Amino acid sequence: MKFQLLGVNHRTAPVAVRERLAVPESRLPEAMRRLAVHPGVDEGLVLSTCNRVELLTRCTNGRADLRGFLADFFQVDLAAYEPHLYEYEDMDAVRHVFRVAASLDSMVVGEPQVLGQVKESYALARAVGAVHSHLDALMTRAFAVAKRVRTETAVGSSSVSVASAAVELAGKIFGSLRGKHVYLVGAGKMSELAARHLKAQGADAIFVANRTHERALEMAARIGGQAMLFEQLYDTADRADIIITSTGAPHHIFRREHGELFLARRKNRPMFFIDIAVPRDVDPEMNKLDGIFVYDIDDLGAIVASHVEGRRREAERAESIIETEVARFHARLETLQVVPTIVSLQDHLEAIRQAEIDRVRGRLGKLTPEQESAIETLTRGIVNKVLHTPVTTLKSAAGQPEATTLVDVVRRLFNLRDQNPGPKA
C-alpha cells in the first residue's frame, strides 16, 4: 500500500494562493469522486479549509500524479504554485494526517475546529465511496489520536479559534467593543463562534446576514442578534463598525465601490473588515480607501503567535504522542499483510477438526459431558500445536521482504482460498 498526500497550507502559501486552490463545498463530492478514480489512486479524500487544501490518497502501485489532478481540476498551470506545495508519502503522510487532526498543524495550535472539518471531509468521502479500506483505517485512527492528544495534554486548554482570534483583533483595534455594532456575513460555524465571542466582549448590536435567510434567523435567535436580508446587504452594512465575513462565495462580495458607498453614508467614520473566508470575501482594493481597514486570515497570525508560547510545552508532549501512534499504526499495517492468511489457516484447521469429530461421533456412542469436554480439549490442543509454527513464522515475517513468499507457501501447503483483507481500525 502507499499513502500519498499533496497540499498547501497557511505556512506554505499566502491566502491568495490558497483561495485559488480551495475546493468550494458544493464541488467537494465531485472532487472526491474524481480523485478516487484518478489513474493510480484506489482511495481519495479532499480536505479544503480556510488554512489548507490537501489531497490524501492510497495508491495502487507506486505514486499517483496528484499534481496532474490539481492542474486538471482547477484548469491551472501548476508550475506557478509549485513553490507552495508539499508532498508526503507513507508514514510521513500518516504523521501529517495525525498532526492535522490533533490540531498541531493549525494556525492556532490546539483549536478544535479542524477536527470537525476533517471528520466532515471523511464522512463525505465515505458517502461518495471514495474511502473504503486503508484510508478508512487511517482516518479512524487519526480521530482516536486526536482524542488522545486532547485528553492527555493541555494543548487545547488555552486555545483560540480563528474566529476568536478575529474578535481579539477587533478588540485591539477599538480597545473595547462596547457600543460597537457588528455585522456577521455568513451564518456558518465560524460566524457563530465569532458572534459568541463578540457578545462576551460587550458588542452592542450584532446583525447577521446569510444567503439562506432561515439560517440567519436561527443564528440571530441563538445569539440574541438581528437577522438581515442578504439581498439588502449593501443597503445595511454601513450600520456596522466591524464586519466579520466568512461566506463560501467563490468571488469577492465586497468591492471598492461598496467601500466608497459605505464611507459616504457613514460620513467617513471608519469601518473594519475582518475577512476569514477562503476564497476571500473582501477585495484587497478596499484596503486602499481611507477609512476602510481590511484584515484577512493571514493577518490573524500576530494574534495567533501570542498564544503559541504558552502551549509550546504541551505541543511537544503532543508531538511525542503522535510519534508513538505513527509507529503503532505502522506496525498495524504491516500485520495486515499476513493476518488474512493466519485467519484462513485457523478457519481451515477448525473446519477439519469439526468434520473429524462429526465423522467419528457415531462410532463413539453417547458421550458424557466430561467425555465431550475431553475430546474438545484434546482436538483443540492438536490444532493449536499444528498452527503454532506457521502462525509465529508469519507474524515474525510481517513487514519483511520474505513475507509474500511465506504467505504464498502457507496458502499452497494448506490449499487456502484467496481473500480480500479489507482492514478496519
- How many Å apart are CA 319 and CA 121, to the nearest integer? 24
Angle at 235 between CA 229 and CA 238, to 5 degrees: 110
Given the DSSP bridges, would you call strands 242-245 and 271-275 parallel, antiparallel or unpaired? parallel
Query: Which grid cell is 400?
Result: 519483511
What single letter denotes the amino acid at residue 196? R
> From its phi and psi, is residue 272 left (phi > 0), alpha (psi between -120 and 50) or beta?
beta
- Provide the strand spans (E) within 115-198: 181-185
Amino acid at 55: L
**Cα separations in angstroms, 345 against 150, 359, 413, 414, 417:** 41, 21, 10, 7, 10
- Cell reading at 169: 483583533
Listing from the earlier edge strand, what are the strands of the sheet with 242-245? Answer: 226-229, 205-210, 181-185, 242-245, 271-275, 292-296
| Residues 192, 74: Cα–Cα separation, whole Å | 31
> Catalytic annotation on 59?
no
d(CA 220, CA 224): 6
| Residue listed under C-alpha cell 486538471 | 72
Instruction: Pick the catalytic residue from 22, 28, 32, 50.
Output: 50
C-alpha distances (whole Å) from 173 to each of 167, 168, 176 are 10, 9, 8
Amino acid at the residue 256: R
Query: Whats the size of the chain, residue-wise?
Result: 425
How far from 395 is each of 253, 274, 309, CA to CA, in Å? 59, 56, 45
Q: In this structure, which amino acid lies at residue 5?
A: L
H/E segment holding residue 406:
helix 403-414
Whose grid coordinates read 479532499? 46
Phi, psi of 289 (to 5 degrees): -80, 135
Nearest alpha carbon to residue 86 among 17, 142, 132: 17
Residues serving a catalytic function are 50
